[in-house]
Amino acid sequence: MSRPLILDFDGSAGFLDGTVVDLRGRQEAIRFGCRMSALRALGDELAPALSAMPSTVFLGSGDYHHVSYLLIERLRRLATPMQVVVFDNHPDNMRYPFGIHCGSWVSHVSRLPFVSCVHVIGITSADVEGFNVWQNHLAPLNSGRVRYWCVGRDLRGMRRLGIKRSHSFATVSDLLDQFDHESRTWKQPVYLSIDKDVLSPDVVQTNWDQGVMTLEELERAIGMVLKLVIASDVTGEVSTYRFTTRYKRILAALDHQPEIPEGSLTLWQEQQQAVNRRLLSMLAGVSEHAGQFGANALEIALP
């Protein structure tokens, strides 16, 4: 069982027992969004830590979800087609003209030739409805390389644009039944990316608007694909940061990130750690069965 790797940009996930990489010096550059070149520079710095094939990487706040792209992109060396399963309250497949960011990384992943499909599960955000539909990358939705699994949204706008493989369900339970039905036939390995904003605010608090899943529902969904999972990451820690760069302050404000009330941060981080330990106990064994998909070859292939 490999220890989790903690990418500590923001001090939020540092309480877990794992290998910590101190990246606080990169917080301003990477948080929320960055140029692809900045992400690649981060990838170079992380190469030694990633060569140990951690089964789970903690990225901190959902503001770093685009770092998942780096973690998935390096699986190219496995030379096997795979699916990516993302639990998130948002599509993370939006248009963003300045490089890659926490709300657009899924579209970049969907263009990787070895990724056959990205399933984004648990979306309750209005990003998928009405005029907001036009802010989504539509081509991968049309082709079915990206599929949304929403709860309680109206996807008629998407249907009118010919998007057929994304669905909204009345309840999480309905969604899980369908996911169970489909995933039973899957053969390809799965990369799993969990943004805890998919969970109801009764379970944890993140610094984004949140979905409706309970922890038990999330665990049930993970369980459906667990034997296929070759690697995973977790985001959605709660943390605050005031950007020193003005354009980043403006972009973050446009996305209406809620303020964290004074005095709540410590309690919220404790709730988060309890969830992290539960997720980790599920995911810790991933590296043991990853070998069947050639994931051991990854270690050998690394310089």
Which residues are near Mn ion by CB under 5 A?
62, 65, 88, 92, 195
Which tokens sit at 5? Answer: 């790797």
27 or 235: CB nearest Mn ion = 235
Which tokens sit at 128? Answer: 């998928």
Which H or E element spans position 182? Answer: helix 172-183
Q: Max Cα separation, the chain?
A: 49
Minimal distance, residue 111 CB to Mn ion, in Å: 18
8 or 88: CB nearest Mn ion = 88
2 or 206: CB nearest Mn ion = 206
Minimal distance, residue 92 CB to Mn ion, in Å: 5
10 or 195: CB nearest Mn ion = 195
Inter-residue contact 181 to 173 (CB < 8 Å): no
Query: In Å, how far are 73, 179, 299 from 94, measured between CA atoms?
Result: 19, 23, 33
Minimal distance, residue 90 CB to Mn ion, in Å: 6
26 or 101: CB nearest Mn ion = 101
Minimal distance, residue 203 CB to Mn ion, in Å: 16
71 or 298: CB nearest Mn ion = 71
Minimal distance, residue 87 CB to Mn ion, in Å: 9
Inter-residue contact 114 to 221 (CB < 8 Å): no
83 or 104: CB nearest Mn ion = 104
231: CB partners within 8 A, 6+ apart: 53, 54, 55, 56, 57, 71, 75, 191, 192, 286, 287, 290, 295
Query: In Å, how far are 73, 146, 215, 236 from 279, measured between CA atoms?
Result: 23, 25, 9, 13
Sign, CA dihedral 252-253-254-259, equals positive
Query: For residues 215 and 199, what is the distance between their CA atoms, to the nearest angstrom?
Result: 7
Virtual CA dihedral for 136, 140, 143, 144, nearest 10 degrees?
-90
Give the number of other Cβ atoms within 10 Å of residue 173's Cβ: 11
Which tokens sit at 54? Answer: 């951690």
Minimal distance, residue 189 CB to Mn ion, in Å: 22
10 or 88: CB nearest Mn ion = 88
